[in-house]
Amino acid sequence: MLSNFEKGKGREKMNTLDYYVAFSIALYVIGIYCLATKRNMIRIVLGIEILINAANVNFIAFSAYRAEGFIDPFAHSVVIISIALAGCVSAVALALVVYAYKHYGTLDIRKLRRLRG
């Protein structure tokens, strides 16, 4: 995939982009792992945050390598908005967590499976 994207570019730059992308994939895998194995709701919220950050890092990294000597400001602005939105998401999610804990007395998602008012 990457070789297609950076066709004709210098070998040197490719390497640095690889690091960033590898880091982002690592973050992504950590996030998925978190969602796939954890049962505590707070941990799941953290997992979602990690996933969003993985995407953000990926965005920034690619923006710097779009053209020679040019960093795309558009990607940065999008990422800033994305960070703000992630903050909102986590705020709402944590509020839900608090209420769920008050209502059920547990944070184990397997025990919260009954959708009752």
Partner 1 sequence: MIPYSPWLSWIIPLVGSFLMPILAKLNQKIRDWTPFLLVTVSSIFTFSMLPDVYNGYSSDITVQWIPSFNLTAGVLVDSLSVFMAGLVSFIGALILLYSIGYMAEEEGLTRYYFFMLLFIGAMIGLVMADNFFQLYIFWEIVGLCSYALIGFWYKRPEAVKAGMKAFIVTRVGDLCFLIGILILYFNSGSLNFLVLKDQLTFGLLGTSLIMSVALLMFGGAIGKSAQVPLFVWLPDAMEGPTTVSALIHAATMVKAGVYLMARITTIFSFSTTYLLVVALVGAVTAFMAATMALATFDLKRVLAYSTISQLGYMFIALGLGSSEGWLASQFHLMSHAFFKALLFLCAGVVIHTLGTRDMRKMGGLRKHMPITFAAFMIGALSLSAIPPFNGFWSKDMILESAYVHGGYFGYLMFFIGAVTAAITFAYTIRMVALVFLGEESEFIKNMSRKLHEPLKVMIIPLVILAFACLFSGFLQSPFASAFSQMVIIRKSVTFMKIEVEPLTYSLLSLLVGGLPAYLIYVKRTVLPQKITEKKVMGFIYKILANGYYFDSFYNFVFVRGTALISSKVRKLQTGILNINMLAFLAGILCLIFLAFQGGVV
Stretch that binds partner 1, among 16-24, 64-72, 93-101, 106-114 (CB under 8 A): 106-114
Judged by CB under 8 A, how many residues of this single chain contact partner 1?
13
Per the CB < 8 A criterion, the answer to whether 106 and 112 are in contact is yes
Q: Does 8 bind partner 1 (CB under 8 A)?
A: no
DSSP β-bridge partners for residue 99: none
Interface with partner 1 (CB under 8 A), residue from 10, 37, 73, 102:
37
Residues at the interface with partner 1 (CB under 8 A): 1, 4, 32, 35-39, 44, 109-110, 113, 117
